[in-house]
């Protein structure tokens, strides 16, 4: 049974364009056979703080020094999140664009799990991603249409899709597919058309 880690990054739930398209993808996967779905909603998940104890645990680990009790507890919570990534066969993400980037709660999750021996390794030879057997599908929703060669282009203003693809690649994910849903701020008709077109692409990708 395929294990899917589904990361939801919009607080809008079923009203979210990215979530609606990602759900179409997941429904299409489920139609092909049973899946084990692990939903990680960054808005309802009790994400631990990356504060003093966690930061000190990180540097103690890098230095190879023993962790105290508070540091061990902080790092155990971080590693438990990382374990969900390591256990997945596929990572699916539904992500709205906020101020040309990603929502701060998603950045919080990324900062937690992007740690040595949690999702990547590091030694004298450099970095090595630990998620090499996983694949990923990311659904990115934007309010406007991003057109190459204009001031509103992915090259100029995309710190959403490009960032997520670079992050997943750093973690070792070799196959990353991205679906964009644009024109969300250009009226209900344009929004629904964009969602329908992206959902069709998502279903084709699942097939």
Using CA atoms, how far apart are residues 168 and 105, in angstroms rounded to an integer?
Answer: 17
Q: What number of CA atoms fall less than 13 Å from residue 26's CA on the CB side?
A: 24
Confidence bin at 144 (pLDDT 50/70/90): confident
For the chain, domains (ranges, CATH) are: 2-206 (3.40.50.360)
Give me the chain's average pLDDT, please. Answer: 92
pLDDT at 109: 98
Q: What is the pLDDT of residue 5?
A: 98
Res 20: pLDDT: 96
pLDDT in tens, 45-102: 999 999 888 989 998 888 889 989 999 999 999 999 999 999 999 999 999 999 999 9
Residue 162 has pLDDT above 90, yes or no: yes
Instruction: Enter the pTM of the model.
Output: 0.93
**CA-closest candidate to residue 77, choices 105, 104, 49:** 49
Asked if 185 and 96 touch (Cβ cutoff 8 Å), the reply is no
Residue 11: burial class (beta carbons within 10 Å; 0-12, 13-18, 19+): middle
pLDDT tens digits for 99-129?
999 999 999 999 999 999 999 998 888 899 9
Task: For residue 14, give the DSSP letter.
Answer: G
Model pLDDT, residue 166:
97
The percent of residues above 90 in pLDDT, for the chain, comes to: 72
- pLDDT, residue 52, reads 83
What is the dihedral sign for C-alpha 15, 19, 23, 24?
positive
94 φ/ψ angles, rounded to the nearest 5 degrees:
-115, 115
């Amino acid at each position: 049974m395929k294990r899917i880690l589904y990361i939801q990054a919009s607080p809008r739930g079923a009203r979210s364009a990215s979530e609606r398209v990602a759900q179409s993808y997941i429904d299409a996967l489920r139609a092909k056979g049973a899946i084990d779905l692990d939903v990680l909603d960054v808005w309802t998940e009790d994400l631990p703080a990356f504060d003093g104890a966690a930061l000190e645990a990180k540097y103690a680990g890098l230095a190879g020094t023993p962790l105290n009790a508070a540091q061990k507890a902080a790092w155990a919570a971080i590693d438990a999140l990382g374990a969900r990534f390591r256990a997945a066969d596929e990572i699916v993400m539904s992500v709205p664009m906020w101020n040309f980037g990603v929502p701060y709660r998603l950045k919080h999750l990324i900062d937690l799990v992007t740690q040595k021996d949690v999702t990547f390794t590091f030694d004298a030879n450099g970095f090595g991603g630990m998620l090499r057997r996983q694949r990923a599908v990311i659904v990115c929703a934007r309010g406007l249409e991003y057109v190459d060669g204009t001031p509103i282009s992915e090259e100029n203003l995309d710190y959403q899709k490009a960032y997520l693809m670079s992050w997943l690649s750093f973690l070792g994910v070799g196959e990353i597919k991205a679906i964009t849903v644009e024109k969300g701020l250009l009226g209900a008709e344009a929004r629904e058309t964009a969602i329908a077109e992206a959902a069709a692409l998502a279903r084709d990708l699942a097939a």
